[in-house]
Amino acid sequence: MALAVNWSPLVGWTGREPDVVTVECSVVTGFELAAQQEVQDRLGVAAAAIVPHQGRVIFDIAGSQLPQVLSLRTIDNAWILVGVIPQMDLTGPEDETLERLIALLPDLDWPRGLAAWRRIFNRPHLNFDSDQGIDSEPIKRVKIIGDEGDTSPDSIPSFRCTCYRTGTGHAFGSMDAAKAIGGAIQDKFQWRVRMKDFDIEVVVNIDISQVYFGISLTHVSLFKRNIEHFGPTTLRATICSSLLKLANIQPGDVVVDPMCGGGSIPIEGALGYRQGFYLAGDYHELACGRTKDNIQALVTRDNKGLPIDGFQWDVTSIPLKTASVDVFVTDLPFGKRSGSKADNRVLYPRVLLSMARVVKPNSGRAVLLTQDKTSMFKSTGKFSAYWKTTKHSYCNIGGLAALVFMMTRTDKMPDDPSSEGRPASTS
């Protein structure tokens, strides 16, 4: 059963501090703590002012810092909250409950939400006053005439209302709530309704017996970046960033993805965690080609170099010097779209042993993502002398329940430390 959000550490949504706002960010379920750490590191938000919840992080921030929220690399979408009702009975008849939800609209902090929206989006042609409330006359006049006499529909904001609902016992569905509340917003503001290419998205979250409202600060999910040439198992950039955050990249670290596919993880590292140097390798010729093309596309776009290089190699015999790598971060084959679980039970221990040779003893570490948990657990005995699992955590990857394994290197060396693997070709 889903748990309700704990609002007590947050004050922005209450309006008691006019310069503080409360922001909700969606993240891939399982990576909430990575996002929380990034909010602390990049935005300077105290841990006490961040509430990690299932698939999201919610935190207080100064209104002037709102544009910086969109620079976070582990989040998918962001909203500013304009109203929170921590406890509300939503178990009544459908019509009655929807009427009570609609009755909340006049008390929402619309001026703060619309002011935040204007900080993010440059839409000077839109004619509404962000300092007015929902029932104020200047907003209602938007339907008829603008301040300069402009009656063009293009000067009237368009919007969409979306509802996300969890929990049971509700007599209404998400679409029912979105339709009723969206209709009430349209009646009050006289904004145009548009399901696509809208200006403003009002989001209603109904969690069990609490309700909160937000205005979206993103029109396109932030994971849509970096990659132009996709493979069959390309990871979202936000997942890659979360894995790298968990790896705790330090200045000067050599970071390797030995099964890089299209290069999603090392490319995200080279862009967002530039304190390290990244090596991308794969055995498949098409994968190496995609990595090369993705790197070149970014270099051309930004007109600057990146701390990354690519190779074609055999992951079971990585052609790097012994103890030359600081960190491995990789997405292991799930045995779904690529390979099989039977193959993984042979592949996983060979990969871990190959990695153990080239990573630095004691200080070396690895962050490994896989959905094939069984193969990993069954293989542990074959590499446990060289790798110690410090933690493993659940995450949701495209609807699949996966695990992230965080490992540290022991001081023991593999039996054949002189083997340097087969030569690699530069991609």
End-of-domain residue from the set 163, 184, 216 = 216
Coil vs helix vs strand at 373:
helix
Which residues form the domain of 265?
Answer: 237-426
Q: What is the pTM of this model?
A: 0.88
Whether the pLDDT of residue 229 is over 80: the answer is yes
Residue with more model confidence, 126 or 75? 75
Domain contains 83: yes
User: What pLDDT score was predicted for residue 421?
Assistant: 47
Domain contains 187: yes
Q: Are 235 and 333 in contact (CB under 8 A)?
A: no
Domain contains 395: yes
Say which CATH number the domain at 278 has. 3.40.50.150
**What rounded mean pLDDT belongs to the chain?**
89
Whether residues 201 and 251 fall in one domain: no
Residue with more model confidence, 382 or 146? 382
User: What pLDDT score was predicted for residue 140?
Assistant: 38
pLDDT per position as a tens digit, 314-343: 999 999 999 999 999 999 987 545 556 678
pLDDT range class, residue 63, cuts 50, 70, 90: very high
Domain contains 227: no
pLDDT range class, residue 427, cuts 50, 70, 90: low
Say which CATH number the domain at 201 has. 3.30.2130.30
Quick one: average pLDDT of 383-404? 94
Whether residues 154 and 275 fall in one domain: no
pLDDT per position as a tens digit, 182-228: 999 999 998 999 999 999 999 999 988 899 999 999 999 999 999 99
| Amino acid (one-letter) located at 43 | L
d(CA 306, CA 424): 21
Domain contains 224: no
User: What pLDDT score was predicted for residue 128?
Assistant: 65
Whether residues 188 and 259 fall in one domain: no
Domain contains 228: no
Domain contains 202: yes
Whether residues 270 and 173 fall in one domain: no
Number of domains present in the structure of the chain: 2
User: What pLDDT score was predicted for residue 141?
Assistant: 35
User: What pLDDT score was predicted for residue 168?
Assistant: 81
Whether residues 178 and 36 fall in one domain: yes
Whether residues 66 and 169 fall in one domain: yes
Whether residues 194 and 133 fall in one domain: yes
Domain contains 222: no
Whether residues 243 and 140 fall in one domain: no
Quick one: average pLDDT of 291-314? 94
Whether residues 269 and 128 fall in one domain: no
User: What pLDDT score was predicted for residue 131?
Assistant: 38
Whether residues 307 and 415 fall in one domain: yes
pLDDT per position as a tens digit, 249-299: 999 999 999 999 999 999 999 999 999 999 999 999 999 999 999 999 999
Chain position carrying tokens 């701390």:
307
